[in-house]
A and B are shown apart, each in its own frame.
Chain A
Amino acid sequence: MEVREHIIEVKDMVKKYGSFTANDHLSFHVERGEIFGFLGANGAGKTTAMRILCGLSYPTSGEIRVAGHDVYRERERIKRKIGYMSQKFSLYEDLTVSENIHLYAGIYGLGRKQIVVREEQLLERLGLAHVRNRLIREIPLGWKQKLAFSVAIFHQPAIVFLDEPTGGVDPITRRQFWEMIHDATEEGITVFVTTHYMDEAEYCDRVSIMVDGRIDALDTPAALKQQYESVNMNEVFLKLARS
């Protein structure tokens, strides 16, 4: 098996809020081009860790490199190379579909012509061309989620971070959403995704499972199922959470 580049490298990452330890000595790496599932119950510390990797939050200690840059000193460089889709819905509700695309693409410094061409392709692919001039607040949640993901990778980042991207959407849209994630990896984008839908974990190349601020398991879904003698990821998760 070829050794792939580690696009995220985390050693002994600790994040404390007063006496509460949200991340307790996390160590892991993410390989370029894979879909890395970051699993855990609510409050296990997933979002905290992800926010540190995105440069939104300072770690208390640890050695962390994202896309080859140090999170303490080179946060602004990291930000050029990543995309992020937060739990809270993050497109501007009072701007149209097209205006949101132009805004975020403009922020990353894409040229106007380039934006127009890729906007066209994107809307075509998503089947959203007919709502391009509608305000975000007027379109259904499923469409918004797909659009938010597309906007997060519009500037072709090296890594995209997705924080519970499929919360509250129907099974069909979730399925389509995961197809989009796969398409993104084809383009060479590394995907770092948190979720608590265990069926989604099956789609990941590797998953880590966090319990109480620590990573208790990390491997491919197949290996984890074998190790914990389970038929699916749901069972793996329950066994870990109860132990």
Chain B
Amino acid sequence: MRILATLLVKEFKQIFRNRLMLPIIFVVPVVQMILLTYAASLEMKGINMAVVDQDYSQASRLLVSRFEASPFFEINLSTGSYQEAENELTSDHVDVILHMQHDFELKLYSEKETDLQLVVNAINATEAGLINAYCTQIIADFNGQVRARWFGLEGSGLLISLDIIPKYWYNPLLDFKIYMFSGILVIIVTLIGMLLTALNLVREKEMGTTEQINVTPIRKYQFIMAKLIPFMIIALFELAFGLVIGRLLFGLPIVGSLGLLFLFTCVYLLTVLGIGLFLSTISNTQQQLMYMAFFFMLTFILMSGVFTPAESMPQWAQKLNLLNPVAYFMKVIRMILLKGSEFRDISREFYSLCIYATLILTLAITNYRKTS
């Protein structure tokens, strides 16, 4: 125990003597949390719209006014020429064109139905899907209003329709930032923990001080633990710090138990830091380590369901995610924070990570060579 304590004192002194460490712990995560939460947010505001109203009737103006009233749409261009609108779309100045031909209202009265054209820029498919959904909803509202106002009296019997009001559980206001923020917090905690730990060990290898350590009677597990514990504490601190930022800036809900979240995070960190340490036992230079760490980090993060739920990935990808610790944490942090899940809800993930952590740490310790 005394040897471990001696080593821990050394590690902490070295960590906080590194001038870059405090910015890495405090500044970098805050910038990432704020920047990425807004930037990666899929929420739609200010969709740029071009209106081609060739009818200019009461009906067409009514529809346009509904778009104007929506907080999501910004009408940038009102024109009679479809060509002009299309030019704006191809040059990326508008996201969507609403096109009504000269017989829009006439057909509505005479044939009781009419046509309109919606052209959506689908370079960003997700965004296009959302724009389409928003437009359809507004047009459906307009439809109801028209039927009520003009045909309402005689067709009152037909007017009974199902009015679907969706209620979004665990994120009632569909605040995408909350969803995004929890994901970004996972990434930051993972990156800081895994990379700092792994780089630290490889740096000692590069400097040649591990050789001096290897001729001493230090046990391998003592050395590995001394590398693991400080960064585990830093990563846990980072999580606490992130939760405070999220609470203050984004009103992040914390429905479940914080104790449970931190307990789960401990097991999670043992796993990812273990992976980092394992990678550093098989690398000789910081450069080699960075290549490998980036491969694993990118794959883990992109597959973890940070942007899209992992449940909507193909079956084989979901199977692969059994090996992806980030996916477990991504799911559990949202379950605990947003949904208030309890231990029994996350026990499967918890025990899986316990096994994972044990395996990877054993591998890291046995693979660390005191003798070559």
CA distance A86 to B6 in the complex (A): 22
Interface residues on A, range: 20 to 34
| Cβ 8 A contact of B10, one of A54, A88, A90, A92 | A92
Residues of B within 8 A of A86 (CB): 208, 211-212
**Known A-B contacts A75-B371, A92-B209, A94-B17; A107 and B6 likewise in contact (beta carbons under 8 Å):** yes
Question: Is the CB of B216 closer than 8 A to any CB of chain A?
Answer: yes
B138-159 interface bits toward A, Cβ cutoff 8 Å, 1 = contact, 0 = none: 0000000000000000000000
Closest residue of chain A to B372 (Cβ to Cβ) is A57
Interchain nearest-CB distance for B13 vs A (Å): 6
CA distance A42 to B358 in the complex (A): 45
Residues of A within 8 A of B17 (CB): 94
CB neighbors of B among A53-75 (8 A): 54-58, 75
Residues of B within 8 A of A56 (CB): 211, 214-215, 370-372
Question: Is the CB of A89 closer than 8 A to any CB of chain B?
Answer: yes
Closest residue of chain A to B369 (Cβ to Cβ) is A56
Question: Is the CB of B218 closer than 8 A to any CB of chain A?
Answer: yes
Interchain nearest-CB distance for A241 vs B (Å): 28
B1-35 interface bits toward A, Cβ cutoff 8 Å, 1 = contact, 0 = none: 01101110110011001100000000000000000
**Majority secondary structure of chain B interface residues (helix, strand, loop or mixed):** helix
| Cβ 8 A contact of A94, one of B18, B216, B218 | B18
CA distance A82 to B211 in the complex (A): 14
| Cβ 8 A contact of B14, one of A82, A92, A109 | A92
B217 and A79 contact, CB distance less than 8 A: yes
A99 and B212 contact, CB distance less than 8 A: no
Which residue of B13, B214, B215 has the most chain A CB atoms within 10 A of its CB atom? B215
Closest residue of chain A to B210 (Cβ to Cβ) is A90
Question: Is the CB of A46 closer than 8 A to any CB of chain B?
Answer: no
Question: Is the CB of B320 closer than 8 A to any CB of chain A?
Answer: no
A104 and B216 contact, CB distance less than 8 A: yes
A90 and B212 contact, CB distance less than 8 A: yes
Which residue of B208, B217, B370 has the most chain A CB atoms within 10 A of its CB atom? B217
CA distance A91 to B7 in the complex (A): 14
A105-127 interface bits toward B, Cβ cutoff 8 Å, 1 = contact, 0 = none: 01111000000000000000000
Interchain nearest-CB distance for A239 vs B (Å): 34
Question: Is the CB of A80 closer than 8 A to any CB of chain B?
Answer: yes
CA distance A102 to B218 in the complex (A): 15
A58 and B371 contact, CB distance less than 8 A: yes
**Known A-B contacts A55-B371, A88-B208, A90-B208; A82 and B215 likewise in contact (beta carbons under 8 Å):** yes
Interchain nearest-CB distance for A198 vs B (Å): 27
Closest residue of chain B to A161 (Cβ to Cβ) is B215
Interchain nearest-CB distance for B300 vs A (Å): 31
CA distance A108 to B18 in the complex (A): 27
B14 and A94 contact, CB distance less than 8 A: yes
Residues of B within 8 A of A82 (CB): 215
Question: Is the CB of A41 closer than 8 A to any CB of chain B?
Answer: no
Interchain nearest-CB distance for B330 vs A (Å): 36
A95 and B10 contact, CB distance less than 8 A: yes
Residues of B within 8 A of A75 (CB): 370-371
Question: Is the CB of A93 closer than 8 A to any CB of chain B?
Answer: yes
Closest residue of chain A to B3 (Cβ to Cβ) is A107
CA distance A95 to B18 in the complex (A): 11
Question: Is the CB of A38 closer than 8 A to any CB of chain B?
Answer: no
| Cβ 8 A contact of A109, one of B3, B213, B371 | B3
Residues of A within 8 A of B213 (CB): 107
B372 and A76 contact, CB distance less than 8 A: no
Q: Identify the 7 closest CB pairs spanning chains A and B, nearest first.
A: A106-B6, A88-B208, A90-B212, A84-B215, A79-B217, A80-B217, A107-B216
Please report A residues at the B interface, Cβ cutoff 8 Å: 54-58, 75-76, 79-80, 82, 84, 86, 88-95, 99, 102-104, 106-109
Please report B residues at the A interface, Cβ cutoff 8 Å: 2-3, 5-7, 9-10, 13-14, 17-18, 207-209, 211-218, 370-372
User: Mind listing 22 A-B residue pairs with CB under 8 Å?
Assistant: A56-B371, A56-B372, A57-B372, A76-B217, A79-B215, A80-B217, A82-B215, A86-B208, A86-B211, A88-B207, A90-B208, A91-B212, A94-B14, A94-B18, A103-B6, A103-B7, A103-B10, A104-B216, A106-B2, A107-B7, A108-B217, A109-B2
A86-B208, A103-B7, A104-B216 known; 9 new pairs, CB 8 Å cut-off, are: A75-B370, A79-B216, A79-B217, A90-B211, A94-B17, A102-B6, A103-B9, A106-B2, A107-B217
